[in-house]
Amino acid sequence: MDPNKRPDDMVRITTPELAQAFIDEQVEALRAQIGDKNVLLALSGGVDSSVVAALLIRAVGRQLICVHVNHGLMRKGESEQVIDVLRNQMDANLVYVDATDRFLDLLAGVAEPERKRKIIGAEFIRVFEEEARKVAGEVDFLAQGTIYPDILESDGVKAHHNVGGLPEDLTFELVEPVKLLFKDEVRVVGRALGLPESMVERQPFPGPGLGVRCLGAITRDRLEALREADAILREEFGAAGLAGKVWQYFVVVPDMRATGVRDGKRAYEWPAIIRAVNTVDAMTATVPELDWALMKRITERILAEVPGICRVAMDLTPKPIGTIEWE
């Protein structure tokens, strides 16, 4: 049986009882796989990696070392939130690494999406290898929050940093306890593990982060404009009560400029494109109909508060034919 293929008769995890059965099975399997060795977890703070963290804490306790890498491509305030939630609420053994300059220097001038993903994925592993040597000597296992859509989409659609971006000389054995689950199933398991609702319902965020939303070659000024515009969008959606009703929403800023007028003078600046989708399993997605007054308010705020943005547009493409992310 292919270990990366979900069995046709696998029951979908939709209830606390099914989730508990899955947890019991995975805890036993993790103990058998890891033994008395140490395991390093690539911890983004998203639901996938957080569920993996909770499973591993239950299975092997302090043998788990969580590493959160700030690659400079996080959303506004995200790393600070991850540190607070995981250290204070989950009591995780957490190592924080600020590698912003390291990643952005490697990505300078790189425009091709798959190359960006592979650079980010490979550098993540390098950082983890370095941190493993610092905090625990020899680490034999690398845990990841890979889920089933990551595997499916990496076969001909796009490389995910934790599937298609791993270097060939990887020295760790992979630990991927939720790799056969869809996103909705991971959330059910997270609740059964007792994770806080704010973490279970945390909006999906790709491993390469804003690197695949700052389209084309990343520049620091355009990346900062993207971060600020995205923060406004998330703030306004939250205030409108859409945080739990729209599955994912974000901004992308392409590597192109448009002509505008600012303070009576010609402005040649970037467009910001809003993307909002609803989905159950991330394999298909629809675009929700949003309140026009809300969208006007978001547009006005982005244009007024974010330097370098002179236009706001909205992506109405469902999946398929468009993927959820732009890159």
Strand, helix or coil for residue 235: helix
- What gap in Å lies between CA 242 and CA 244, rounded to an integer? 6
- What gap in Å lies between CA 136 and CA 37, rounded to an integer? 10
User: Would you state the pLDDT for residue 43?
Assistant: 86
- What gap in Å lies between CA 298 and CA 231, rounded to an integer? 10
* Contact yes or no for 295/301 (Cβ under 8 A): no
CA dihedral 238, 320, 47, 129 (to 10 degrees): -130
pLDDT beneath 50: ranges in the chain: 156-165
- What gap in Å lies between CA 70 and CA 72, rounded to an integer? 5
Q: What does pTM read for this prediction?
A: 0.76
User: Would you state the pLDDT for residue 207?
Assistant: 81
User: Would you state the pLDDT for residue 154?
Assistant: 63
Residue 219 burial (10 A CB sphere; 0-12, 13-18, 19+): middle
- Provide the strand spans (E) within the chain: 39-42, 64-70, 94-98, 141-143, 173-175, 248-252, 258-262, 265-277, 309-315
For residue 136, give the H/E element and its range. Answer: helix 113-136
Instruction: Name every residue whose Cβ is closer than 8 Å to that of residue 118 and which is 6 or more positions away in sequence.
Output: 159, 161, 164, 165
User: Would you state the pLDDT for residue 202?
Assistant: 81
User: Would you state the pLDDT for residue 163?
Assistant: 41
Helix axis angle, 47-60 relative to 16-34, nearest 10°? Answer: 60
Tokens of 214: 């700052």
User: Would you state the pLDDT for residue 45?
Assistant: 80
